[in-house]
Amino acid sequence: MRIDVVSIFPEYLAALDLSLIGKARRDGVLDIHIHDLREATTDRHRTVDDTPYGGGAGMVMKPEPWAQALSAVLADAPAPRPMLVVPSPAGAVFDQAMAYELAELDHLVFACGRYEGIDERAIDWAREEFDVRPVSLGDYVLNGGEVAVLAMVEAVGRLIPGVVGNPASLVEESHADGLLEYPVYTKPSSWRGRDIPEVLLSGNHARIAQWRRLEQLRRTAERRPDLLARLDTGALSDAEREVLRAGGSAPDGKGN
């Protein structure tokens, strides 16, 4: 997969050299290019922003540097119509389903806005050559798109074959099946007076799977009841229904 990121703070994206994403880059699995938007300016001050028409606080990113920068990316693109992801608190909310969708594509381009955003005409202009998706990480405001791009590249990149060493770890994790992950434990089995749930020592894989499934439902009901609306309730066992009826409260009443 090819990924281009355009930003006025290219150093922010240095984190993409680290860990599994960094290794995937070095292995040639992810072809990631970081571009400085200011390189696409022509004035002495390398201006990328100006005051908003209609008034109001803050500054707006000028359209021409974006057109120049995105045209340069297109000139080097492996295929026509890359996906242009525009990080914005005014975008559609990024989730695991969107990560899976983006992971199927050959070429993603991220346009990191700062200030109050990018002149809307630059976005409209880009629609002629890109599929454009304004995307938000959630309902809060960041100062710019860079942190959001780090999150999105990691979420999408780890779904590309060869990025995560053991593909099985992609199956049993939060959101893979629309539920939160079950709690996990490692050695020692007794630590500071706290024992792991005995079922995990039983060696009974069916019982363990059943326990984990109930814990997933319990946690989801407790922490993210909004996710349960998408659950196929026709396919639930009696024990699973009971966990949901109890609203995610654990048998000991503590939740977890």
Residues that bind ligand 6GU (CB under 6 A): 87-89, 135-138, 140-142, 144-145, 148
State in angstroms the smallest separation of the CB of 134 from ligand 6GU: 8
For ligand 6GU, give the closer residue by CB, 59 or 246. Answer: 59
State in angstroms the smallest separation of the CB of 38 from ligand 6GU: 19
Residue 131 near residue 77, CB atoms below 8 Å: no
Rounded CA gap, 5 and 84, in Å? Answer: 10
State in angstroms the smallest separation of the CB of 110 from ligand 6GU: 10
Report which residue type is found at 28: G
For ligand 6GU, give the closer residue by CB, 141 or 235. Answer: 141
State in angstroms the smallest separation of the CB of 61 from ligand 6GU: 12
For ligand 6GU, give the closer residue by CB, 65 or 113. Answer: 113
For ligand 6GU, give the closer residue by CB, 146 or 240. Answer: 146
* DSSP 8-class letter at 31: E
SS (H, E, C) 62-94: CHHHHHHHHHHHHHCCCCCCCEEEEEEEEEEEC
State in angstroms the smallest separation of the CB of 218 from ligand 6GU: 29
User: Is 117 exposed, middle or buried (CB count within 10 Å of its CB: 0-12, 13-18, 19+)?
Assistant: buried
Which residues in 45-55 are b (16+ Cβ under 10 Å) and which e? Answer: eeebbeeeeee
Q: How many CA atoms within 13 Å lie on the side-chain side of 100?
A: 9
For ligand 6GU, give the closer residue by CB, 87 or 248. Answer: 87
For ligand 6GU, give the closer residue by CB, 118 or 217. Answer: 118
State in angstroms the smallest separation of the CB of 111 from ligand 6GU: 11
User: Nearest Cα to 158, choosing from 31, 30, 32?
Assistant: 30
Token duo for residue 17: 């050299």
For ligand 6GU, give the closer residue by CB, 89 or 178. Answer: 89
User: Is 63 exposed, middle or buried (CB count within 10 Å of its CB: 0-12, 13-18, 19+)?
Assistant: middle
State in angstroms the smallest separation of the CB of 85 from ligand 6GU: 9
